[in-house]
Structure 1
Amino acid sequence: MPPIPLLLSAGEASGDMYAARLATALKQRLDVAIFGMGGPHMRAAGVEIITDYAEVSVVGITEVLKRLPSLFRAMSRLVDEAERRRPPLAILTDFPGFHLRLARKLRPRGIRNVYYICPQFWAWRPWRVNLVRRRFAQALCIFHFEEKFYADAGVPVKFIGHPLVGNVKPTMTREFFCKKYGLEDGDPIITILPGSRRGEITHHVPVLVEALVEIERIMPGSYGVVVAVAPGLDSKKLKAMFPPQWQVKFIDKDTYNALAAADLAIVSSGTATVETALLGKPMIVVYRLSPLTARLAKPLVRTKFLSMVNLIAGRAVVPELIQQEFTPQRVATEAGNLLSPSKEGRQRVEEMLRGLEEVQRLLGPPGAVERAADEIRKLLNAVQSNAK
């Protein structure tokens, strides 16, 4: 028999990473031919990429309008390919603005939809959970508090734990990292994760550059600055946004080691904050949208916190500087507090590390991807049995 076709789709960098791991786990369990939308990780995992997520990856309400033609083209390609290959299941990874619409188009064609990495509808526009109930046969959530939210709305849901647990580990010592990248081992290291989308880079980097100037002013001395370049970003273009005389180290494909070596991380809100928490590193979370998008989005937000670390803990474990609070002065002040050798500074870091340990516990045990693959295998077997 030929391999079973499965559609697997991810619309941004973290989803591409999670979906790639799922593709590998599914291939270990089933004879499948996986195709869909994704990026470098999925491609490396043997997924046939019909459309690259770089065409559609965008954040913000107003920013989406500029990318509508690309979004429509990607949607059309995926639907056409699904019609041609007739997969019994479509596994859609987060990215709700696109995937809710794709699910609506696939369901009437007899394709059962699985939501892998449920959207965070509990945080904003929670009424959209009803669309998941109507369009998806199964939802797989990665945060413990999501299971009740989706179950209460009538969605068939399973908590699988976070896919990053057990996978976020450094591969070298700080000493070796410093030697490899030309850093002084004895100096404090600030590692910056400015974001994975072009819009995030545009909004974040100018503020971060000014913040580094301010940090140097209030904390004179020698320290290393590392910028971890997300997959899909052009490191040369990113480097050009920093003053050429600065000794900033731009690092590709080595984010976990860059974080593990850090005394402080400044991190764009999103999956990277969970990775930083799993490595137990003090952090400042930052994020900024365009002013118009922020004004439009503000009435839709339903949570006290925006960073995943604080949401998981249910309290303010790490400082989050969002929108107008994300200024060079605020970043520098928070950095000074966390890097201070004073008793108060050490106590602040120790308290944060205790909070991060709590977050690590709440993320669940290792094996989330394997549990997801097992659930999908069960659903696929049920679909095939009903078709006989």
Structure 2
Amino acid sequence: MLKRVRTKVMLVAGEASGDLHAANLFRELQKLVPGVKGVGMGGEHMREAGIDVRFDASNMGVIGLFEVLTHYREIHQALAMMKNIARTEKPDLLICVDYKSFNFQLAKAAKAYGVKVMFYVSPQVWAWKPWRVKDYGEIADMMAVIFPFEVPIYEAHNYPVRYVGHPLAGKVKPSVSKAAAMAEFGLSAQAPVVGLLPGSRRGEIKRLLPVMLQAAQLLAERMPGVQFVLPQAGTIKDDSISRHLQDSPVPVKVAQGRTYDVLQCCDAVATCSGTATLETALMGVPMAIVYKLFEPSYWLGRMLVQVPHIGLPNIIAGRGIVPELIQHAANPPAIADALERMLKDKDYAADMRRDLAEIKAELGEDGGSLAMAKLAAELLHRPA
């Protein structure tokens, strides 16, 4: 077992998924490096893991250039604080967990202060701004990537890279049986169940939940008795959800922080883009990916994105195995149509489940947290 006293690691995450990944990583690192201290930016998961969270990032998960501008003051304040910690406390290692633009600026400053830098969850340079491989490679002592196809991208430029596996692999499992979950959530086994996953950011809830609820109303008219359930992300306050649900004629059951238990009850899901799509895939549930951005952000993204798909299941598979309803296509009739087909066309749903099972097999059962912790411990004992 590796030993080191008074070791300090700085972990910085700006979104719900990164908060969880950083927490799992730190728990594994504590086993390998007894006495290691953690400090940084994140949320409740990181606090529970024993990390000294100096800045709460719960409200900083925004997507799109124009959306970021509306949160500029808070983001600028957080970045200044994190840079100051890197400068004054000189952590032995900075681990940047996703949140690419923010962490790029922080990593650049930390590197100048003599702090070793590792990126966990590589910036998706393969999807947008491929020329930035050089920028990230020059400031990172290690790129820890979570998809095998990312390794050659950095190796082509001779930058240090290691595939550590996806942090969700082997961890996306319900905590109770399906029968117990159905009973707890008040769901009947005699009627289909549709999950609504509008996201973990306030902006996503505002843009996607009303559209999903309108789609649910259309689907309920076509398929009387269909049930709807919504797993509420821990980053979303109750009133952000309830204000929309109270105006909807369709009853929707809400479960707090029980995504995997909810997903196992579902026959089909409408989900926002992002980590939720991979969680749904690993649970083997047919899905439609629904996403809308502020219009200028969408068109800017269209100009920058280099890949034909935005959903992780489709990107990993290299083809469109689940439907993507993006921006103007993310309308109630289209969403209702996609869900209805999954519920009624048994062959279509079975084919999708088979494709999702292949993705699960490709990612394996060994989550990346332990491999990532071993890599972090290796860097901690490597001369600066």
1:371 corresponding residue in structure 2: 371
Pair 1:303 & 2:296 matched: no
Q: In 2, Cα distance between the equivalents of 1:156 and 1:367?
A: 21
Q: In 2, Cα distance between the equivalents of 1:324 and 1:367?
A: 36
Deviation at 1:12, TM superposition (A): 0.1
Deviation at 1:153, TM superposition (A): 2.9
2:241 corresponding residue in structure 1: 238
Among residues 5, 9, 24, which one is paired with 1:6 in the alignment?
Answer: 9
Note the 1:25-174 alignment, pairs <5 A: 25-30=28-33, 31-174=35-178
2:225 corresponding residue in structure 1: 222
Q: In 2, Cα distance between the equivalents of 1:145 and 1:123?
A: 12
Q: In 1, Cα distance between the equivalents of 2:371 and 2:225?
A: 46
Deviations 1:169-211 (CA, angstroms, capped at 9, x unpaired)? 1122222112112222221111111001111111101111111
Among residues 189, 213, 216, which one is paired with 1:212 in the alignment?
Answer: 216
Contact 2:217 2:249 in 1 (8 A): no
Deviation at 1:55, TM superposition (A): 4.3
**3-state SS of the aligned residue for 2:162?**
strand
Deviations 1:311-360 (CA, angstroms, capped at 9, x unpaired)? 000011111111111110110111111101xxxx1110111111111111
Deviations 1:204-226 (CA, angstroms, capped at 9, x unpaired)? 0111111111112222x202110
Among residues 171, 175, 180, which one is paired with 1:176 in the alignment?
Answer: 180
Contact 2:155 2:161 in 1 (8 A): yes
Deviation at 1:244, TM superposition (A): 5.7
**3-state SS of the aligned residue for 2:254?**
strand
Q: In 1, Cα distance between the equivalents of 2:176 and 2:368?
A: 25
Pair 1:265 & 2:278 matched: no
Q: In 2, Cα distance between the equivalents of 1:155 and 1:287?
A: 34
2:321 corresponding residue in structure 1: 317
**3-state SS of the aligned residue for 1:153?**
coil
Q: In 1, Cα distance between the equivalents of 2:184 and 2:134?
A: 51
Note the 1:331-342 alignment, pairs <5 A: 331-340=335-344
Among residues 197, 209, 212, which one is paired with 1:193 in the alignment?
Answer: 197
Runs (4+) of structure 1 moved beyond 4 Å? none
Question: TM-score, length-normalised on structure 1?
Answer: 0.95
Question: TM-score, length-normalised on structure 2?
Answer: 0.96
Q: In 1, Cα distance between the equivalents of 2:52 and 2:314?
A: 37
**3-state SS of the aligned residue for 1:284?**
strand
1:351 corresponding residue in structure 2: 351
Equivalent position amino acid for 2:238 in 1: S
2:380 corresponding residue in structure 1: 380
Among residues 267, 278, 283, which one is paired with 2:282 in the alignment?
Answer: 278
Equivalent position amino acid for 1:360 in 2: K
Deviation at 1:251, TM superposition (A): 0.9
Identity of aligned residues (%): 34
Equivalent position amino acid for 1:22 in 2: L
What count of residue pairs does the alignment treat as equivalent? 379
Q: In 1, Cα distance between the equivalents of 2:112 and 2:175?
A: 47
Q: In 1, Cα distance between the equivalents of 2:7 and 2:21?
A: 21
Pair 1:22 & 2:20 matched: no
Contact 1:204 1:288 in 2 (8 A): yes
Pair 1:294 & 2:298 matched: yes
Contact 1:226 1:251 in 2 (8 A): yes
Equivalent position amino acid for 1:160 in 2: V
Q: Using a 3 Å threshold, how does the CA distance of structure 1 residues 314 and 76 change in structure 2: closer, same or farther?
A: same
Q: In 1, Cα distance between the equivalents of 2:177 and 2:376?
A: 38
Q: Which moved more, 1:36-45 or 1:154-163?
A: 154-163
Contact 2:267 2:343 in 1 (8 A): yes
Let me know the Cα RMSD of the aligned residues: 1.3
Deviation at 1:364, TM superposition (A): 3.4
Contact 1:235 1:250 in 2 (8 A): no
Contact 2:170 2:366 in 1 (8 A): yes
Deviation at 1:83, TM superposition (A): 2.1
Equivalent position amino acid for 2:136 in 1: V
